[in-house]
């Protein structure tokens, strides 16, 4: 029985489809939407002359955040949101291992076979390394 479902999200429409699928397939499960953000170090900030922008609402459940945008607003659902620093694929796999996740549902851009071969994909890497079943949702 699936009680914990992880849905990685980057705030895109593709990721939102993953959330929708997870809610449809596992209506009684606790759904956690995970956003992985690249860690920023002091040297990187100092070397850049660009202004540092922090998306403060991505860290919370507030409307408008990158994670919150993936959660359907037209129905009442119990979705937990988490933001973790790190490299997306490995952080997703490690989060699943550390948090007793039963399944991962994630949106995936439907790139050509050549594109996947040359560039790889986060979803492909997660599917190969996850300790639980992974369902990929494409357009």
pTM assigned to the model? 0.75
Question: Residue range 23-52: average pLDDT?
Answer: 76
Which distant-in-sequence residues (6+ apart) come within 8 Å of 109 by Cβ?
14, 121, 138, 139
Question: What domains appear along the chain, each with residue ranges and CATH number?
Answer: 4-137 (3.40.50.620)
What is the per-residue pLDDT for 13?
Answer: 83
40 vs 92, which has greater pLDDT?
Answer: 92
Which ranges constitute the DSSP H helices of the chain?
A: 13-25, 42-47, 88-98, 113-119, 122-129
């Amino acid at each position: 029985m699936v009680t914990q479902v992880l849905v990685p999200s980057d705030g895109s429409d593709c990721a939102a489809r993953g959330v929708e699928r997870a809610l449809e397939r596992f209506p009684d499960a606790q759904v956690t939407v995970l956003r992985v953000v690249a860690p920023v170090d002091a040297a990187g900030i100092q070397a850049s002359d660009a202004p540092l922008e922090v998306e403060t609402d991505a860290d919370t459940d507030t409307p408008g955040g990158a994670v919150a945008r993936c959660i359907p607003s037209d129905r009442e659902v119990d979705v937990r949101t988490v933001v973790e620093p790190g490299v997306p694929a490995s952080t997703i796999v490690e989060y699943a291992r550390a948090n007793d996740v039963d399944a991962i549902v994630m949106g995936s851009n439907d790139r050509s076979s050549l594109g996947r071969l040359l560039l790889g994909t986060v979803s492909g890497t997660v599917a190969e390394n996850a300790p639980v079943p992974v369902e990929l949702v494409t357009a």
